[in-house]
Chain A
């Protein structure tokens, strides 16, 4: 395991084949076809770990592949109807259009499977000569003389004991003149880079939500292709942020999902059960009558927005896409910004390479990104999240609507730029201050338990490997996570990975869907998510 790694050199090494990484690769090759560009992706295939709503704003693709509308792509369903509801337990109230400024409109957007869009972008990238290697995780940042010189892929075939097994294969060192971290939300190498180079010193901390998604095959009568519906309110209490989305795609498929902001306080809250309960609302359940659930998944989503953007460039590389957190929270959209950040980063890298530079800090990148479309998109909505955190959903959303109008019409805000309260791990309150929540029993038709859900996510990990969820201090987990907070990991984990059995912490790592919530929400920051053996994790289809 300490034997030297085989080494290979490239112009640019990219970690993660999501929209950000793929766009960066495509743009690099568009500018300089001779560059050698490599992408490693931990999913078994491109797209198998990508999960998103997804209504996409095409501004990113328009800039990357201007003639995409003339091509054969998986982007087929334009948004035709856009609804926004406020839910109470029994009723639903449409929110009048004037509350929301035009930036919230979904006109001109498309309902897609972002995973399938990534598969398509991967074929575009490969046609340009990009080398994409799915099934290999970036496991280690290679740092020499204070700069990132590459990444190493994980070793394969290590046994539970930590010893190499009969099929052991040493990871490979992939050296790049520049390394782009495009790992999406809460990337594991990104976390190291942020710590190593102090990238978040000047910015507010990142904020997160956990997003769920199920795809259903609905009956013809209930299928309204092009319909987009968002809800706020029930089943969440006003003090808990979050909401649902329902998107009607092609082929009788409907995506339903739910986002719960991870700054919730009650350790008894179970985001998974809130999502299951949401589906039973009278205004929602009708769509799923006679329907069949096809898939399930969950993933953290970044919510910090403008204030939380860390420094992007570091010596030898940069953060791209949601590794840096470019989601526009009120629009629940980040994929367009992921693409745009891939483009702008590629342009800076290509210019540096053309000037014969390598391994330095791309000095102008941060300013360019903030001054460009991403900065503008996020600046307008920068106060939404802090307002929701301070005033709850109902009042917060009213103030946020007002604030977005001010930013749209006046280009300024009465609030200036609000800061985020606390990081998400610090918001949990001791269980003694809260009541357990009694969630309704699942019926196995419309609502399900975690295990049958994980089953249809196709999640799989090579069994005989050491767990990829590292608990730094098990005694602390017991004395704090369990004794003070009543084991919130057993509720926030969407895959049922964590269990407290007779006072001992059981980690069913093979069920992990790589959402990263434990890495974010554990009250003591005691859990570290590291990539398992490449190819492990969910095998999402059409997510």
Chain B
């Protein structure tokens, strides 16, 4: 079984996000970038399936700038077998465009299973997996917290309100990963060194015949309003009075 894991380069989760002074977007200059954490879960799961002997090959793919190659190298260091870089310097690539590019990659790679992160922590769109499944006409299971492979099928447990739901999908299928799926491994230094020699193929949206022009316009980006400072109340009465004043009670 071959597994394809799409991965995205995003601003690292530990970085304090800063909006550009002119409100045109988030400032990413000189900011630390990493693989989207949910994509790490997706890749970790694929690697575990390969290590368990269920999968034979794990291929990662990204759509993005020159620099996104770093994210692919990080994925290769974690253990992916090879990588595909769909290179574009387009500043903004919407989920639908990414889904179309991935569909084109899947046409030639023919994986049995695609595992994506449930969403990217930069835009929080939570759309690419679902759109891709629709474009492919494949069954999908989102927010996976457990994956079990059967004969020609997979069972995916997902967290839903008030409990767990387990779906059985026929392969080929598409799954999006939640944080609870696993704890991703570290890339060890020897593996990072070896990853430099693993195959990384380049292509482009044009070569794949996909139009990635944005269809949405971003009007404005703003920072969330800061929280106002808390106060310390002396008594329960004062608390009640303040809450009434604030219209909470």
- B15 at the A interface (CB under 8 A): yes
Least CB distance from B47 to A in Å reads 13
Closest to A6 in B: B190
Other-chain residue from A47, A167, A172, A456 in contact with B190 (beta carbon distance below 8 A): A172
Does B235 touch A at the CB level, under 8 Å? no
Check A167/B14 contact, CB under 8 A, given A44-B32, A48-B32, A133-B192.
Answer: no
Would you give the shortest CB distance from B99 to chain A, in whole angstroms? 30
Q: How far apart sit A217 and B193, CA to CA, in the bound complex (Å)?
A: 39
Contacts A45-B32, A166-B183 known; A458 to B15 CB distance under 8 Å? yes
Interface string of A435-461 (1 = CB under 8 A from B): 000000000100000000001101010
A156 interfacial contact with B, CB 8 Å: yes
Could you say which of A115, A169, A294, A539 contacts B188, with CB atoms under 8 Å apart? A169
Please give, as numbers and ranges, the residues of chain A lying within 8 Å of B188 by CB-CB distance.
156, 169-170, 172
| Chain B hits for A456, CB < 8 A | 16
Within 8 A of B (CB), among A120-169: 131, 133, 136, 153, 156-157, 166-167, 169
Is A414 positioned at the interface, with any CB of B under 8 Å from its CB? no
> Which of B16, B186, B192 lies in contact with A157, CB distance below 8 A?
B186
CB atoms of B183 and A44 under 8 A apart: no
User: Which residues of A lie under 8 Å from residue B31 when comparing CB positions?
Assistant: 541
Cα–Cα distance between A85 and B183 once the two chains are bound (Å): 55
**A542 contacts chain B at the CB level, 8 A cutoff:** yes
A167 close to B183 (CB less than 8 A): yes
How distant is B80 from chain A, measured CB to nearest CB, in Å?
A: 17
- Flag if B186 contacts A167 (CB, 8 Å): yes
A 221-236 binary contact with B (CB < 8 Å = 1; else 0)? 0000000000000000
Residues in B with CB closer than 8 Å to A252 are 21
Task: Out of A156, A169, A541, name the residue touching B30 (CB < 8 Å).
Answer: A541
Contact A460 B16 (CB under 8 A): no
Cβ–Cβ contact B12 & A44, under 8 A: yes
Q: Does B219 contact A (CB under 8 A)?
A: no
Residue of A nearest to B18 (CB): A294
Query: Are A172 and B186 in contact (CB-based, < 8 A)?
Result: no
Does the CB pair B183–A460 fall under 8 Å?
A: no
Within 8 A of A (CB), among B71-91: none
Whether A263 is near chain B, meaning CB under 8 Å from some CB there, is no
Q: Give A287 to B156 CA distance when docked, in angstroms.
A: 58
Measured between beta carbons, the chain B residues less than 8 angstroms from A44 are: 12, 32
Interface secondary structure of A, over-half rule:
mixed
B229 at interface, CB cutoff 8 A: yes
Q: How distant is A219 from chain B, measured CB to nearest CB, in Å?
A: 10
Residue B185 at the A interface, CB < 8 A? yes
- The chain B residue sitting closest to A170, CB to CB, is B188
The distance in angstroms between the C-alpha atoms of A518 and B130, with both chains bound, is: 52
For residue A533, give the distance in angstroms from its CB to the closest CB of chain B: 9
- The answer to whether B189 has its CB under 8 Å from any CB of chain A is yes
Residue of A nearest to B184 (CB): A167
Q: A217-B21, A252-B21, A456-B16 are in contact. Are A172 and B32 (CB under 8 A)?
A: no
Q: Would you call A409 an interface residue if the criterion is a C-beta within 8 Å of the partner chain's C-beta atoms?
A: no
CA distance A464 to B201 in the complex (A): 37
* B16-A153 in contact (CB<8A): no
Chain B CB count within 10 A is highest, among A45, A131, A171, A444, for: A45
In the complex, chain B residues whose CB is within 8 Å of the CB of A47: 30
Question: Are B15 and A541 in contact, with the CB atoms below 8 A?
Answer: yes
Residue of A45, A444, A458 touching B229 (CB-CB under 8 A): A444
Asked whether A383 is an interface residue with its Cβ less than 8 Å from the other chain, the reply is no
Residues of B within 8 A of A458 (CB): 14-16, 32
Type the 1/0 row for B5-37, where 1 means its CB is closer than 8 Å to any CB of A.
Answer: 000000010111010010000000011100000
**Complex Cα–Cα for A153 and B229 (A):** 43
CA distance A171 to B188 in the complex (A): 8
Query: Which residues of chain A have C-beta atoms less than 8 A from B185's C-beta?
Result: 167, 169
B182 CB → nearest A CB, Å: 10
Identify which of residues 39-72 in chain B touch chain A, using a CB-to-CB cut-off of 8 Å: none
Residues of A near B190 (CB, < 8 A) are: 6, 8, 172
B residues near A (Cβ < 8 Å) are 12, 14-16, 18, 21, 30-32, 183, 185-186, 188-190, 192-193, 229
Q: A136-B189, A217-B21 are in contact. List 16 more A-B contacts (CB 8 A).
A: A8-B190, A113-B30, A133-B189, A133-B192, A167-B185, A169-B185, A169-B186, A172-B188, A172-B189, A172-B190, A458-B14, A458-B16, A539-B12, A539-B14, A539-B15, A541-B31
Please name 12 pairs of A and B residues whose Cβ atoms are closer than 8 Å in the assembled complex, sorted by A.
A45-B32, A115-B30, A153-B189, A169-B186, A169-B188, A170-B188, A217-B21, A458-B14, A458-B15, A539-B15, A541-B30, A541-B32
Nearest first, the 5 closest Cβ-Cβ pairs linking A and B are A169-B188, A460-B14, A172-B189, A6-B190, A156-B186
Residues of A within 8 A of B (CB): 6, 8, 44-45, 47-48, 113, 115-116, 119, 131, 133, 136, 153, 156-157, 166-167, 169-172, 217, 252, 294, 444, 455-456, 458, 460, 539, 541-542
